[in-house]
Structure 1
Amino acid sequence: MFKGLSAFPLTPLIDGRVDQASFVSLIERLVKAGVDSIGALGSTGSYAYLTREQRRDTTRLAISVSGGIPVMTSIGSPSADDVLRLADDAQHEGVSGVLLAPVSYQKLSADEVFSLYEDVTRTISVPLCVYDNPATTGFEFTDELLIALSQLPHVGSIKLGTLAQDRTTAARRVARLKEQVKAGVTIGISGDAQSLRGLQAGCDVWYSVLAGLFPRYFLRLAQAAQDDDRNEIGRLDAPLAPLWELFQRYGSLRVTATMAELLGVVASPCLPRPLKTLSGQERSQLKALLETTLRPLLYP
């Protein structure tokens, strides 16, 4: 399941409760587009802000309307015991894989992170994706640790959070990882602004925020990158430059959630408190960008 385009939809909320109707609509859009997998309850899905029951019920809902497309769900939590319980819940609901970031209040050591993954992979029966997301966890994986984790049972993919700007340097890193990780473990890229570079550098899968809202467009973009069709990449990526700037300033979750609100596909506000979507001048600018350029391209 860890290949191609993995789309990570929002988990819209209303007064702290999951807006199931809007969530189902988002999943159905991914199914119609034909994404390769669905990352329910990723960072875009606000997993860290939801209760165990909400995470279990939302995972079940995603699977029920996935149309057979593999569904992966996040099991990250500061407590290792909670991670194990969340893994049990996810497997009971029938996930095709789990996603684990080393979430913590206290900064973790490399040994603590390895022990966490060792404990989890000892107990699960579905594939696990190692989630490298230093922007939210504060933990930075070394390549040596990623390679060591890939040797654990059931590890199926590594989701890179950072990649060098230089294409040659990025390609060398991806090639080195592929040579040294356990056979069958794929290398994925996240962070939509850098993901085209990751695919061109040899990554196997794009774990995408915006594909969760605009799956058809990002399927085309992913295919162009995998084909190394630079003309098509340039044509499709150029209109997105303002979004990459907004991502850099406000974070991908806030920007994506704001677009979903402006498009009317979720209620406003849709994020878990205390998170807020863009407001004031920034929201007006994004609305103008959607109306003049992005909506006809991304949300036909």
Structure 2
Amino acid sequence: MSRYTGLSAFPITPCDPDGRVDAEALRGLLTPLVEAGVDSIGLLGSTGTYAYLAPDERRRAVEIAAALVGGRVPLLVGVGALRTDAAVALAREARAAGAEAGLLAPVSYTPLTEDEVVAHFAAVADGSGLPLVVYDNPGTTHFRFTPALLGRLARLPGIVAAKCPAPEPSGAAETVAALRAAVPDGFPVGFSGDWNVTAALLVGGDGWYSVAAGLFPRTCRAITRAAQAGDADRARALDGALAPLWDLFRAHSSLRVMYALAAARGIAATPPRPILPLPEAVQAQIVATVRRLDLA
């Protein structure tokens, strides 16, 4: 199995109000992921609030994670930045600290053209020597990859996989087929957007880049393994049982929900301002809902 397929778990990055990474809390989040047998860990993804962290804290988070994981689980690290030279520097540091691949999103203020995105990815891959996963997250970058653009990137040296937003289930087969037709044979195409991923896996998606797996790796691993085995009935049943959690993600954002759930576990993590914790009543509703689901 490729190191860029299967279940990739994306935890939050617990920090104090000043944005300093809480090493003990981060280790406490990562250890269960390793023990659950996830296929990779996505550190400093959007759920890991990479865009809000100072470069020193990003490097420190990678060092903490790499020391704990110790090669047992591939570590994929967010290296996105506004400037290409900054992304190259982050990717070099991530590689030196023990990352196996970088998650590169086309972060921008001025909207980027497709040629600019290709040049950006080529420069980061060439300048860092770190294998890169295309990180397509239009909800945060406001840039959307076409299949044709993904095909161009997939043929660049050093680009090893893609993380794409999962389509609505009704369009899963068409979307996956279009992406498959655009990229070289064997190029791994995985999906995010937890509530729609199972449908994408069942029609040929290679991986699940999962927010929920950051706290509930065994439950998400069971869904992934059922889909990989072609057991559609079991995968859909397990996914359907999580509908209340997916509803919470859609209503409040998966990031805010995960912070509320982390707080319920005693993890004193503060969302980076200007993001505020959800109101106490909403947090209580989230915790009560998830307890009824008996997630692991």
If the TM-score is normalised by the length of the shorter chain, which range does it land in? over 0.9
Taking the aligned partners of 1:74 and 1:184, their CA distance within structure 2 comes to 23
Q: RMSD of the TM alignment (CA)?
A: 1.5
Q: How does 1:150-229 map to 2 (within 5 A)?
A: 150-166=154-170, 169-229=171-231
1:5 is paired with a residue of what secondary structure? strand
Q: Could you state the TM-score of these two structures normalised by the residue count of structure 1? A: 0.93
Instruction: Name 1:110's counterpart in structure 2.
Output: 114
Taking the aligned partners of 1:231 and 1:176, their CA distance within structure 2 comes to 25
Shift of 1:171: 2.0
Instruction: Name 2:61's counterpart in structure 1.
Output: 58
Q: How does 1:55-134 map to 2 (within 5 A)?
A: 55-67=58-70, 68-134=72-138
- Percent of residue pairs bearing the same amino acid type: 42
Select the residue among 269, 294, 298 that pairs with 2:295.
298
Q: How does 1:15-26 map to 2 (within 5 A)?
A: 15=17, 16-26=19-29
Deviation digits for residues 260-284 of structure 1 (CA, Å, limit 9, x no counterpart): 11122x11x5211221232143222
Shift of 1:229: 2.2
Deviates more, 1:222-231 or 1:199-208: 222-231
8 Å Cα contact 1:255-1:277 kept in structure 2: no
Taking the aligned partners of 1:254 and 1:272, their CA distance within structure 2 comes to 11
Instruction: Name 2:139's counterpart in structure 1.
Output: 135
Shift of 1:210: 0.8
Taking the aligned partners of 2:207 and 2:277, their CA distance within structure 1 comes to 28
Shift of 1:182: 2.7
| Unaligned 5+ runs, structure 1 | none
Taking the aligned partners of 1:145 and 1:235, their CA distance within structure 2 comes to 35
Taking the aligned partners of 2:68 and 2:139, their CA distance within structure 1 comes to 31
Taking the aligned partners of 1:37 and 1:287, their CA distance within structure 2 comes to 26
8 Å Cα contact 2:79-2:91 kept in structure 1: yes
Runs of 4 or more consecutive aligned structure 1 residues displaced over 4 Å after TM superposition:
none
Deviation digits for residues 173-214 of structure 1 (CA, Å, limit 9, x no counterpart): 323422431344200001111111111120111111111111
Q: How does 1:20-35 map to 2 (within 5 A)?
A: 20-35=23-38
Deviates more, 1:225-234 or 1:123-132: 225-234
